[in-house]
């Protein structure tokens, strides 16, 4: 009886070994203690005032780890994923390439009427589909589809949402379906991505988590500025798909499993590695909705996403056969967005840089201090206007500086940093408000002073 018992134990152990083979291999390839990492993430989320976060780690066969934080209560809760949407668009294009309906080396005018989008229709004849995919079309970063002009950087990398907005138009033209219908039918439904959507209506039905934008260090809830027409800088193919961490895990597993029935392994290889350099230091390369980077201790494929009140990151680590997704329901452009890169490093097996525990507060205090100084400069002449009136000798040089030169500088800041004001308004609204309000205060006080002097002289 005892011998039979021992034999049964041995058989049971052998059985466990075989059914858990994937876990054993995986554990050997990846020794990250995700529970410990998760505890550190909880601290970081609290320190950096992140309202909610959802993360998932997958290998080809299973979910290795998943967790939600803050006001995100379910791994199925959708977030707007921003520019991670570009990989869905690139994937759709490559499907159409496999079907023989698109040749990525042909000009985009082969597939769409470029006169609808370009100031000069001929520009569309110069740009290939592949150049749109690889962000080297010559279209500038802040161009919109209503009036595209070729820049001087043709055939050189420059990130532009318009590239992927145009690819979305191409998918519609070639497939004779809406972008939403094509992606849903050919990607979302086959992968069982039931919490992913390409329309605002479906986002709401799926329970889209509330997004936040940071004002002076305080996260404030705002509705997403969903694209409505071709005048939108970021359209759905470039940045407004919504998805949950659970669904994005399925999406990355598709790549880890060589495309399943969605795409061929050859096309995935082209998406990942048929790319162009983003810089001159041989580190980052932009492919078809993916960035191949040597920034980390091992090569990683990645893409981030950012819209007005959501940020996101996804990673594939080819050596470990691991996919990772991080979704956040806040845009804190000047502080947290920059810290997020370091916050998630432990998920990749990288060391997180040692920084001050109060870095979020320190950075926001520094930014707010600058805002306060600018506001004091604008308000001081108003508060002391009676003193100014009683001065027998007016300080005209100082008045010219604070009522003419300074407001002009504030107004020109977007031009100086080469960012349109509407981008600052959408993504860094507290800075936009400081620029608008204080330039108006300075100019209007100056106009009042001129009127006062003219009236006094007339008397």
* DSSP string of 390-415, one letter each residue: H-SS--HHHHHIIIIIHHHHHHHHHH
DSSP code string of 91-119: HHHHHHHHTTS--TTSBGGGTS-GGGTBS
Classify 317 in phi/psi space as left (phi over 0), alpha (psi -120 to 50) or beta. beta
Q: What gap in Å lies between CA 157 and CA 151, rounded to an integer?
A: 11
Give this prediction's pTM: 0.89
Residue whose token pair is 């001087």: 152
- What stretch of H or E contains 53? strand 52-58
Which position has the token pair 């100082």? 398
**The pLDDT of residue 456:** 83
The C-alpha angle 326, 328, 331, rounded to 5 degrees, equals 130
Q: Is the dihedral angle over the CA atoms 332, 338, 340, 343 positive or is it negative?
A: negative
Enter the tokens of residue 287: 């492919």
- Residue 207 token pair: 């329970």
Could you say which DSSP state residue 6 is in? H
pLDDT tens readout for residues 201-248: 898 889 999 999 999 999 999 988 899 889 999 999 999 999 999 999
Per-residue pLDDT of the chain (459 residues; tens, 9 = 90+): 334 334 333 333 433 333 333 332 233 345 789 999 999 999 999 999 999 999 999 999 999 999 999 999 999 999 999 999 999 999 999 999 999 999 999 999 999 999 999 998 888 899 999 999 999 999 999 999 988 988 778 989 999 999 999 999 999 999 999 999 999 999 999 999 999 999 988 988 899 999 999 999 999 999 888 998 899 999 999 999 999 999 999 999 999 999 999 999 999 999 999 999 998 788 999 999 999 999 999 999 999 999 999 999 999 999 999 999 999 999 999 999 988 988 999 999 998 887 777 889 999 999 999 999 999 999 999 999 999 988 877 788 899 999 999 999 999 999 999 999 999 999 999 999 999 999 999 999 999 999 998 888 887
What are the tens digits of pLDDT across the range 313-338? 999 999 999 999 999 999 999 999 98
The two beta strands, 291-293 and 242-244, are unpaired
Helix or strand run (H / E) with residue 328: strand 322-328
Q: Long-range CB contacts (< 8 A, 24+ apart) of 448-452? A: 448/385, 449/381, 449/388, 449/399, 449/403, 452/389
Q: What is the pLDDT at residue 458?
A: 82
Distance, CA of 387 to CA of 394 (rounded, Å): 10
Measure the CA–CA gap between 157 and 121, rounded to whole angstroms.
Answer: 22
Q: How many Cβ atoms are within 10 Å of 182's Cβ, its own excluded?
A: 21
Contact 375, 365 (CB under 8 A): no
The full DSSP string for 202-251 is HHHHTTPPPEEEEETTEEEEE------STT-SS-HHHH--EEEHHHHHHH
Q: What are the tens digits of pLDDT across the range 384-404?
A: 999 998 887 778 889 999 999
Contact status, residue 131 vs residue 157, Cβ threshold 8 Å:
no
Cα angle vertex 283, ends 280, 287, to 5°?
95
And the tokens for 336? 């947290």
What is the DSSP code (8-state) at residue 196?
-
Give me the pLDDT at residue 153, please.
84
């Amino acid at each position: 009886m005892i011998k039979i018992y021992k034999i049964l134990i041995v058989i049971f152990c052998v059985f466990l070994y075989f059914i858990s083979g994937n876990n054993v291999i995986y554990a050997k390839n990846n020794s990250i203690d995700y529970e410990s990492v998760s505890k550190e993430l909880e601290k970081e989320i609290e320190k950096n005032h992140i309202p909610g976060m959802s993360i998932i780690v997958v290998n080809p066969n299973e979910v290795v780890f998943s967790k939600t934080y803050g006001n995100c209560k379910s791994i199925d809760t959708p977030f707007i994923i921003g520019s991670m949407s570009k990989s869905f668009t690139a994937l759709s294009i490559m499907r159409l390439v496999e079907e023989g309906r698109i040749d990525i080396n042909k000009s985009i005018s082969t597939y769409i009427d470029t006169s609808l989008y370009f100031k000069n229709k001929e520009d569309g004849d110069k740009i290939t589909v592949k150049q749109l995919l690889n962000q080297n079309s010559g279209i500038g970063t802040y161009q919109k589809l209503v009036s595209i002009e070729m820049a001087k950087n043709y055939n050189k990398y420059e990130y532009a949402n318009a590239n992927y907005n145009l690819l979305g138009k191409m998918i519609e033209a070639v497939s004779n379906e809406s972008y939403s219908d094509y992606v849903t039918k050919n990607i979302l439904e086959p992968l069982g991505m039931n919490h992913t959507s390409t329309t605002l209506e479906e986002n709401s039905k799926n329970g889209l988590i509330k997004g936040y934008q940071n004002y002076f260090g305080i996260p404030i809830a705002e509705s997403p500025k969903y694209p409505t027409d071709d005048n939108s800088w970021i359209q759905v193919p470039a940045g407004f798909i919504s998805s949950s961490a659970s669904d994005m895990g399925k999406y990355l597993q598709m790549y880890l499993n060589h495309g399943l029935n969605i795409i061929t392994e050859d096309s995935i290889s082209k998406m990942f590695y048929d790319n162009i350099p983003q810089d001159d230091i041989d580190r980052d390369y932009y492919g078809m909705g993916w960035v191949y980077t040597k920034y980390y201790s091992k090569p990683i494929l990645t893409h981030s996403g950012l819209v007005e009140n959501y940020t996101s990151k996804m990673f594939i680590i080819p050596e470990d056969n691991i996919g990772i997704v991080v979704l956040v329901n806040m845009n804190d452009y000047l502080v947290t967005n920059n810290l997020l890169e370091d916050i998630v490093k432990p998920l990749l097996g990288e060391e997180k840089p040692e920084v001050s525990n109060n870095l979020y507060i320190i950075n926001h205090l520094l930014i707010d201090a600058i805002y306060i100084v600018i506001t004091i400069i604008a308000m001081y002449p108003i508060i002391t206007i009676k003193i100014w009136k009683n001065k027998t000798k007016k300080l005209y040089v100082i008045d010219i500086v604070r009522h003419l030169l300074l407001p002009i500088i504030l107004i020109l800041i977007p031009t100086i940093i080469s960012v349109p004001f509407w981008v600052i308004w959408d993504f860094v609204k507290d800075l936009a408000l400081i620029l608008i309000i204080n330039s108006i205060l300075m100019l209007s006080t100056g106009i009042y002073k001129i009127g006062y002097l003219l009236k006094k002289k007339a008397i």
